[in-house]
């Protein structure tokens, strides 16, 4: 009985103890669960403020992901995004060894460092060393706070939160993006570019040591302002790296001898107009990849700044370089000096609407080839003419007489080009360009462009002209240019046939080279270029466009405000720059393409009758009211003139006219005489005996001619 009672009491006590244990520990468990729930709630309610590392500078990169330009964030800060994989491993080893040796093992707080710091504080009565981990420093960069006990506790909690949410490389990436390096520099990429002029992928030990220590006191340790402080701090890091075995003694000694950077380098600033264009087109994008070649872009920008010294103080230069097959833009220069307000440097002249001068002539001739109106060997007249009330004149106010279409295009004669356009039709030219995505711009008061179109009487942009010439180089197929891999693959549309483009390329490739550039095929200019120049009315725009098998280049020179630049025209101003640019490009493997099948390669005498001569539809020569008729008074028509023989050379033949409107222009056998147009007489030096046709034109469009026989006098 007693045993049974004892056992009952024992069971009762055990049950009571179990209830007590469950009560006590259950309470603790509930408390822990409540605490965890609160922490999770706080973590969800107060997530880490990651807006700052996401608000990085907008970057514009070249085809090899090299930086062309970056834009500042709020506050004028250069904050370039950085990832662990993009940074030199030596720098990372030095950073962790100097700042947080147990970074890979702790969970945001380093207990050993905390115990050491607390002990030193109690022993010395003041803080002696810190216990901040890189995670804690990252938390402080994300959320700056006063250096108080409350601020430090908040920093620790944020560090734990970061470790809970993110991996080590992500936390380190935030630090590498936000760490301050002096001035307006944030992040290791901005610092490396500013202090060393390079990305942080490859750093010397001395460079790495400086970047390790700069964030500790970025303003006080700036090497350009306080070089001795910066050197002392850098060498301190190097010595510690030697003690920790990160560097050997020789590396430490050599690194300490390396000079400090003495100046602050601004971030790269290349292709600024294209960068602005891409940023405006895609404002929510922070990374813009282009197809540009940074080395070529840098060289051409320097070349343009050098060339602008030969221009007016307000003149500028724009250019494009395009790879023909892919239509990728390799270089883009909107102005020769972005920061020069006198030159309106921030206006993108690649997209400015300007008069093309003669740059559209190849298209008009190409359409004439396709319409079987003309052939390169077709004869065409360059004489004073009026077309439906329009009287064009040549650039030099002279006339070449009868020339081939090849010569007319190579010499950029205006009257033959207008004659061809009159039959091709200016409205048709504008329509064909509009169909392939290259609309012309003209005065809204006129519903359609007229014959002046071919001489620059419409508006185009450099981008549109280059697109057109890339089409010539691609057999007549026109498609938009590509500025970056994000642009869609262009779909081409036929503008001309391959045969017409081959004729154009062959004519323009064999055109005389401007006298102030090297001859194509020489050592310095190793390959021929099919090129065309243009000059707008009043010397406002100078153009040069050219292509070879691989590349097309377009150059514009002028004053952005439209002011004239007398003496500067396409041939003497833009063409030399065009040839210099081609000298910087690779020489094509195939320099001259074979003609397409069916191309008519014959001499003029072998042409079909309808292609031997071009008959232009012109009005009768202009007659001014009350203007005396133009006539040749000497030599008399049909006469035979004997000229003295002076040691095998015939004496000069005087030519005399009356009437007409000066200036007068003289032709003999279709060749212009170099004579003053403001006199009514001229002199011609015959090269032998025979018949000569003498022609004179006046300003009003009147003409007179005569045939005479030249005989050697006794």
Beta strands in 639-702 (DSSP E): 640-643, 645-646, 649-650, 653-658, 665-668, 671-672, 681-684, 690-697
3 touches 10 (CB < 8 A): no
Of the chain, the end-to-end C-alpha distance in Å amounts to 175
| Interior angle at CA 478, CA 475 and CA 483, nearest 5 | 120
544 touches 574 (CB < 8 A): yes
155 touches 139 (CB < 8 A): yes
One-character DSSP codes across 418-473: HHHHHHH-HHHHHHHHHHTT---B--TTSSS--GGGGGT-SBB-HHHHHHHHHHHH
- Alpha carbon distance 97, 661 (integer Å): 92
- Alpha carbon distance 483, 481 (integer Å): 7
User: Coil, strand, or helix at residue 102?
Assistant: coil
170 has catalytic annotation: no
- Alpha carbon distance 320, 454 (integer Å): 22
Q: Would you call 448 exposed, middle or buried from its count of C-beta atoms within 10 A (0-12, 13-18, 19+)?
A: exposed
Number of residues that this document lists for the chain: 714
122 touches 102 (CB < 8 A): no
219 has catalytic annotation: no
- Alpha carbon distance 330, 318 (integer Å): 14
Alpha helix (H) residue ranges in 332-425: 361-370, 405-410, 414-424
- Alpha carbon distance 288, 290 (integer Å): 6
Catalytic pick among 57, 99, 132, 301: 99
Closest CA to 416 of 481, 450, 462, 365: 365
183 touches 264 (CB < 8 A): yes
Q: Which helix (H) or strand (E) holds 478?
A: strand 477-478
Which residues, in sequence order, are bridge partners of residue 322? 329, 552
Catalytic pick among 70, 316, 336, 358: 358
Active site residues: 99, 358
């Amino acid at each position: 009985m007693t045993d049974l009672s004892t056992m009952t009491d024992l069971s009762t006590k055990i049950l009571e103890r179990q209830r007590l244990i469950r009560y006590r520990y259950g309470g603790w468990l509930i408390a822990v669960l409540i605490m965890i729930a609160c922490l999770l709630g706080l973590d969800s309610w107060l997530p880490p403020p990651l807006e700052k590392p996401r608000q990085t500078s907008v970057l514009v990169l070249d085809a090899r992901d090299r930086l062309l330009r970056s834009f500042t964030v709020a506050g004028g800060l250069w904050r370039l995004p950085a990832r662990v994989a993009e940074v030199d491993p030596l720098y990372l080893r030095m950073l962790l060894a100097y700042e947080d040796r147990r970074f890979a093992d702790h969970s945001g707080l380093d207990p050993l460092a905390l115990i050491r710091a607390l002990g030193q504080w109690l022993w010395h009565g003041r803080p002696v060393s810190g216990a901040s981990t890189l995670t804690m420093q990252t938390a402080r960069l994300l959320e700056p706070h006063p250096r108080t006990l409350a601020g430090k506790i908040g920093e620790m909690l944020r560090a734990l939160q970061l470790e809970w949410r993110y991996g080590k490389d992500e936390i380190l990436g935030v630090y590498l993006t936000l760490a301050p390096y002096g001035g307006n520099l944030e992040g290791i990429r901005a610092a490396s570019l500013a202090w060393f002029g390079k990305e942080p992928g490859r750093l010397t030990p001395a460079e790495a040591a400086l970047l390790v220590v700069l964030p500790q006191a970025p303003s006080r340790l700036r090497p350009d302002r306080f070089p001795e402080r910066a050197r002392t701090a850098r060498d301190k890091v190097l010595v510690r790296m030697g003690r920790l075995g990160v560097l050997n003694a020789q590396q430490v000694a050599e690194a300490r001898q390396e000079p400090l950077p003495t100046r602050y380098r601004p971030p790269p600033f290349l292709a600024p107009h294209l960068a602005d264009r891409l940023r405006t087109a895609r404002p929510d994008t922070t990374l813009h990849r282009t197809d540009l070649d940074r080395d070529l872009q840098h060289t051409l920008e320097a070349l343009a700044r050098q060339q602008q010294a030969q221009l007016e103080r307000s003149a500028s230069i724009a250019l494009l370089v395009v790879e023909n097959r892919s239509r990728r833009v390799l270089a883009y220069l909107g102005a020769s000096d972005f920061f020069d307000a006198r030159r309106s440097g921030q206006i993108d002249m690649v997209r400015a609407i300007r008069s093309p001068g003669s740059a559209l002539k190849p298209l008009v001739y190409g359409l004439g080839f396709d319409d079987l109106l003309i052939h390169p060997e077709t004869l065409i007249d360059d004489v004073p003419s009026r077309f439906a009330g329009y009287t064009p004149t040549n650039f030099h106010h002279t006339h070449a007489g009868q020339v081939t279409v090849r010569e007319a295009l190579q010499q950029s004669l205006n009257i033959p080009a207008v004659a061809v356009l009159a039959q091709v039709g200016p409205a048709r030219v504008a329509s064909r360009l509009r169909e392939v995505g290259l609309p012309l711009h003209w005065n809204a008061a006129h519903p359609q462009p007229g014959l002046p179109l071919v001489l620059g009487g419409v508006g185009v942009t450099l981008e549109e002209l280059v697109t057109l010439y890339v089409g010539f180089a691609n057999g007549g197929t026109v498609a938009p240019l590509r500025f970056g891999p994000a642009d869609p693959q262009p779909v081409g549309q036929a503008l001309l046939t391959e045969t017409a483009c081959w004729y154009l390329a062959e004519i323009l490739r064999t055109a005389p080279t401007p006298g102030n550039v090297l001859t194509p095929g020489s050592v310095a200019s190793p390959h021929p270029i099919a090129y065309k120049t243009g000059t707008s009315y009043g010397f406002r725009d100078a153009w040069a466009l050219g292509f070879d098998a691989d590349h097309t280049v377009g150059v514009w020179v002028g004053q952005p405000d439209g002011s004239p630049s007398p003496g500067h025209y396409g041939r003497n101003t833009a063409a030399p720059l065009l040839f210099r640019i081609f000298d910087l490009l690779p020489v094509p493997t195939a320099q001259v393409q074979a003609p397409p099948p069916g191309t008519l390669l014959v001499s003029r005498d072998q042409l079909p009758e309808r292609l031997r001569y071009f008959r232009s539809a012109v009005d009768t020569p202009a007659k001014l009211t009350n203007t005396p008729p133009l006539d040749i008074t000497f030599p008399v028509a049909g006469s035979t003139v004997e000229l003295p023989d002076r040691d095998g050379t015939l004496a000069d033949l005087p030519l005399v006219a009356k009437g007409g409107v000066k200036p007068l222009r003289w032709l003999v056998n279709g060749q212009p005489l170099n004579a003053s147009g403001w006199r009514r007489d001229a002199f011609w030096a015959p090269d032998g005996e025979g018949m000569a046709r003498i022609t004179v034109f006046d300003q009003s469009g009147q003409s007179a001619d005569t045939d005479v026989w030249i005989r050697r006098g006794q």
